[in-house]
């Protein structure tokens, strides 16, 4: 008897240590100097928790567990080695895996033979677990598909979309409530898996590429919350804490993202992302713009004292980050002060640009976020925009009729000279014209981001021959 009791105590202790390590792990993530220690803490916590669980005296069959652990590792290794540009879709995919695990466990728990019926509270939490889990499975798969461009990136909208989506979710919740009141109606259970699965797909259909940072964070949060709910069902504090941490982290990130796009949070929560399809794209009267060659751009950059580079998703698409590093090196060597201004929603997930630039060996103390850099633009000689559009649009600040009015932007228009590398004059994601391009101080550099930056670097290192 005491053996079993002692074993349980041991398990409890490993779980407690694991929980503490998880919290430490996140605390160390607050600075790049301690962050790797954070991973180590997380790994140790995870190993302890798994080891502790294996001690569980109820376990009779280790063969299946072992096979599954090995199989998961085999799948996991390539997922850990993807290209940095593919990180957003990888993340979406792993949200889907996490949710799959939770949903399967929830489903199995529901059908487990038990001595006494589930309490209402447990049933309610279980329903929440399965609903959130199921919608995250398909929602994340859809998001990953869009990011990988297996699915059309364009938002697909139709009339009554929000009505259909909210209706679906509403039905799932009603079914869940019925289940809570009458736990014996087990035939209803498949519905609260199937409907959210469908809802997950419908929720992502209207979402376009630029909304991805918000959506990924939100799905992250859902995955965490469903794991926390699972913790309540299994009565495991470790799971509750880990799930709550993940849920909180996703929640905070999605709040940041929605704030950075000037959307209300409820707007985001209800999955009504595609709303701003007001097609302002018309009225493209050919206004004159000034364009420049790589040679001219290089001359201006070489003469500058302070340069701020503003990267956007276009840089990621063109894989231009390594060329940008060459530009950074070449300008720094000439004594030019080069910084990077990064908008919270630049790219396809929170912090996407930072990872790409860090991959290209640009020191992280040169990467500044919007609030840190905005005061600097007035003293900046050249703001060089590479593949970003809406996040630099001054209309967000001063044109109350603009659909993006109120969205916080990078104040690039305050720099002495603005250079924009862009393929063509096509409008950005939101289909909004950018008055920045028509300013007297703005030079348009038409071309592929990677090629054009490469040309500038060549001109700079060409020793200014002519």
Could you list the active site residues? 390
Which is closer to another protein, CB of 68 or CB of 181?
68
CA distance 340 to 383: 9
Least Cα distance to 213 among 255, 244, 245, 248 occurs for: 255
Minimum CB distance to another protein, residue 466 (Å): 31
- Encoded one letter per residue, x for contact with another protein by CB under 8 A and - for no contact, window 92-111 reads --xx-xx-xxx-xx-xxx-x
- Name the packing angle between helices 161-181 and 189-204 (round to 10°): 160
3-class DSSP state for residue 341?
strand
Stretch that binds another protein, among 88-96, 187-195, 266-274, 385-393 (CB under 8 A): 88-96
Stretch that binds another protein, among 145-153, 171-179, 224-232, 415-423 (CB under 8 A): 224-232
Which is closer to another protein, CB of 146 or CB of 422?
146
Contacts of 411 by beta carbon, 8 Å cutoff, 6+ apart: 374, 377, 394, 397
Q: What is the dihedral of CA 3, 5, 7, 9, to 10 degrees?
A: -150
Residues 264-323 that bind another protein (CB under 8 A): none
Minimum CB distance to another protein, residue 447 (Å): 27
CB 329 within 8 A of CB 456: no
**Of these, 134, 216, 395, 415, which contacts another protein (CB under 8 A)?**
216
Minimum CB distance to another protein, residue 217 (Å): 7
**Of these, 5, 10, 35, 164, which contacts another protein (CB under 8 A)?**
35
Stretch that binds another protein, among 89-97, 157-165, 202-210, 271-279 (CB under 8 A): 89-97
Residues 229-258 that bind another protein (CB under 8 A): 230, 234, 236, 238-250, 252-253, 256
In order, the DSSP letters of 229-247 are HHHHHHT-HHHHHHHHHHH
Which is closer to another protein, CB of 198 or CB of 368?
368
Minimum CB distance to another protein, residue 316 (Å): 12
Which is closer to another protein, CB of 220 or CB of 392?
220
Q: Cα separations (Å) of 66 from 50, 129, 137, 222?
A: 12, 26, 25, 29
CB 314 within 8 A of CB 388: yes
Sign of CA dihedral 430, 446, 310, 434: negative
Residue 201 lies near another protein (rule: CB under 8 A):
no
Residue 43 lies near another protein (rule: CB under 8 A):
yes
Minimum CB distance to another protein, residue 49 (Å): 6
299: which DSSP letter? H
Tokens 């909180």 belong to which residue? 248
- CA atoms within 13 Å, Cβ hemisphere of 204: 30
Which is closer to another protein, CB of 109 or CB of 295?
109
Which is closer to another protein, CB of 10 or CB of 71?
71
Residue 42 lies near another protein (rule: CB under 8 A):
yes
For residue 443, report the phi and psi dihedrals to the nearest 5 degrees.
Answer: -110, 130
**Of these, 183, 224, 403, 428, which contacts another protein (CB under 8 A)?**
224
Which is closer to another protein, CB of 168 or CB of 331?
331
Least Cα distance to 109 among 128, 136, 95, 93 occurs for: 128
3-class DSSP state for residue 143?
helix
CA distance 127 to 118: 12
Contacts of 14 by beta carbon, 8 Å cutoff, 6+ apart: 48, 49, 51, 52, 55
Residues 49-78 that bind another protein (CB under 8 A): 49-50, 53-54, 56, 58-62, 64-65, 67-69, 71-73, 75-78
CB 51 within 8 A of CB 62: no
- Encoded one letter per residue, x for contact with another protein by CB under 8 A and - for no contact, window 338-367 reads ----x-x----xxxx-xx--xx-x-xxxxx
Minimum CB distance to another protein, residue 294 (Å): 25
Stretch that binds another protein, among 179-187, 225-233, 395-403, 426-434 (CB under 8 A): 225-233
Residue 87 lies near another protein (rule: CB under 8 A):
yes
# binding residues, another protein (CB under 8 A): 108
**Of these, 5, 9, 10, 30, which contacts another protein (CB under 8 A)?**
30
Minimum CB distance to another protein, residue 164 (Å): 29
CA distance 359 to 376: 25
CA distance 127 to 233: 10
**Of these, 112, 279, 283, 286, which contacts another protein (CB under 8 A)?**
112
Residue 80 lies near another protein (rule: CB under 8 A):
yes
Which is closer to another protein, CB of 202 or CB of 407?
407
Q: Across-strand partners of 309?
A: 340, 384
């Amino acid at each position: 008897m005491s053996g079993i009791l002692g074993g349980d105590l041991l398990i409890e202790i490993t779980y407690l240590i694991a929980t503490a390590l998880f919290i430490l792990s996140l605390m160390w993530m607050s600075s790049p100097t301690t962050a790797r220690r954070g991973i180590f803490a997380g790994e140790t916590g995870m190993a302890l928790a798994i080891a502790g669980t294996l001690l569980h005296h109820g376990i009779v069959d280790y063969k299946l567990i072992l096979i599954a652990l090995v199989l998961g590792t085999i799948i996991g290794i390539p997922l850990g080695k993807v290209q940095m540009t593919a990180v957003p879709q990888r993340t979406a995919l792993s949200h889907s895996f996490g949710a799959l695990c939770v949903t399967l466990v929830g489903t199995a728990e529901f059908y487990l033979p038990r001595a006494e019926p589930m309490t209402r509270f447990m049933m309610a939490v279980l329903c929440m677990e399965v609903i959130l889990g199921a919608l995250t499975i398909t929602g994340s798969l859809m998001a990953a598909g869009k990011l990988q461009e297996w699915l059309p990136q364009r938002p697909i909208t139709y009339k009554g979309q929000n009505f259909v989506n909210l209706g679906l979710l509403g039905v799932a919740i009603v079914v869940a409530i019925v289940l809570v009141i009458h736990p014996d109606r087990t035939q209803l259970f498949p519905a609260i898996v199937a409907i959210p699965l469908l809802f997950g797909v419908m929720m992502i259909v209207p979402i376009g590429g630029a909304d991805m940072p918000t959506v990924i964070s939100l799905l992250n949060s859902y995955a965490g919350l469903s794991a926390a709910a699972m913790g309540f069902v299994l009565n495991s504090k470790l799971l509750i804490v880990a799930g709550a941490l993940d849920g909180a982290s996703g929640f905070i990130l999605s709040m940041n993202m929605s704030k950075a796009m000037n959307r209300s949070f409820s707007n985001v929560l209800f999955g009504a992302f595609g709303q701003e399809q007001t097609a302002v794209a018309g009225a493209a009267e050919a206004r004159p713009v000034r364009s420049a060659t790589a040679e001219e751009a290089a001359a201006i950059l070489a003469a500058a004292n302070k340069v701020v580079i503003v990267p956007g998703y276009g840089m990621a698409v063109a894989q231009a980050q390594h060329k940008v590093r060459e530009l950074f090196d070449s300008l720094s060597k000439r004594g030019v002060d080069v910084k990077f201004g990064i908008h919270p929603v630049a790219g396809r997930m929170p912090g996407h640009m930072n990872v790409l630039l860090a991959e290209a060996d640009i020191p992280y103390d040169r990467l500044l976020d919007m609030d840190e850099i905005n005061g600097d633009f007035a003293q900046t000689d050249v703001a060089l925009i590479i593949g970003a559009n809406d996040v630099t649009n001054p209309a967000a600040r001063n044109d109350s009729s603009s659909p993006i009015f109120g969205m916080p932007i990078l104040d690039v228009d305050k720099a002495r000279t603005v250079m924009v590398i862009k393929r063509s004059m096509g409008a950005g994601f939101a289909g909004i014209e950018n008055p920045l391009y028509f300013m007297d101080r703005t030079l348009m550099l038409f071309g592929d981001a990677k090629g054009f930056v490469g040309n500038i670097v060549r001109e700079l290192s060409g020793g200014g021959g002519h």
